[in-house]
Amino acid sequence: MARTTPSALRPAPLLLLLLLVVGAFWKATGAPLNTELRCRCLQPVRGLHPRNIQSVAVTAPGPHCHQTEVVATLKDGREACLDPEAPMVQKVLQRMLSRSKAN
């Protein structure tokens, strides 16, 4: 009959502790936190003047959120969530797509 020695059980807790410490250090060093499993845009804005928009990022529906999210970075550095169903937002996206195709 094989007996398990206490030293054979020690690597598992030590490995777990090492992973927790490394994970905490990685989060503390300013690594991007894009692993949130929730929607970013809870209250999208319908009206925003296109001149204030610097860039737009579109996130497709996935396990993190069931709806399409449109996040605009404004020229002053702030971010605003836009309603993807709003006609103005669709025009802005079409304009940006046509500009990117032209370049």
**For the chain, domain boundaries:** 6-31+40-102
Query: How does pLDDT run along the chain (103 residues), one tens digit per residue?
Result: 555 555 555 666 666 666 676 666 554 444 444 556 788 888 888 778 889 989 899 999 988 889 999 999 999 999 999 998 888 888 888 888 888 777 6
Please answer whether residues 45 and 88 qualify as being in contact, where contact means their C-beta atoms are separated by less than 8 angstroms.
no
From the list 31, 45, 35, the residue with the least C-alpha distance to 79 is 45
Please answer whether residues 72 and 94 qualify as being in contact, where contact means their C-beta atoms are separated by less than 8 angstroms.
no
> How much is the pLDDT for 31?
40
Residue 81 CA to residue 69 CA, distance in Å, equals 7
Burial class of residue 44 in the structure, from the number of CB atoms within 10 Å of its CB (0-12 exposed, 13-18 middle, 19+ buried): buried
> How much is the pLDDT for 17?
67
> How much is the pLDDT for 29?
43
Class of domain 6-31+40-102: mainly beta
> How much is the pLDDT for 21?
67
CA 48 to chain centre: 22
